Structure 1
Amino acid sequence: RVAANRRNVAAAILAETGADEGSRRRIAFYRSLLGEVDDPAGGARIARNIVAFDPARALLVELNGDLDTARSVAVLVPGVNTTIEGSA
């Protein structure tokens, strides 16, 4: 699923025109999804794990860490005025 969503993010980048500020902001955000983040367990840099991505529905689900080695898990559900690009 993560590999498929990396392709979906790359396709979303290509679909953007970059003609206006909103499009350029989305391109930068989508590129960041293909980047690395700090590993919460060890601090090393690891690839982001995008489990679900659908910009048409403003849907983004990201997995942080390794479920196979985790001792506990947490789920963050954003609230009102939160979009795929951030919070208001």
Structure 2
Amino acid sequence: MNKITNIFEEFEKRSGQVVITHGEETLKIAKKLNDLIARLPICLADNNRLVYLMKDQLMAAEREQFLAGFDLGLKMADVFKEDRRSK
């Protein structure tokens, strides 16, 4: 997937940024998590660390899934291109 990562990073450089919006379901779950964390009997530093770790995990998962989908799209395009050539 290194080739795809390089393409993604090059796109980011040229366009300035890639904006990934969160869906309604993701935001609902984030709100529930926020409410739960706010009620946990932990110190502020641990609370903040937990929130940042959850944010980092979500961002990593979104990026990996985007790259996997992009990679699949490129592979499918190659298959369709080969299929058209064989006809």
TM-score, length-normalised on structure 1?
0.29
Larger Cα-atom Rg: 2
Q: Which has the higher contact order (CA 8 A, sep 6+)?
A: 2
Instruction: Give the structure with the larger strand fraction.
Output: 1
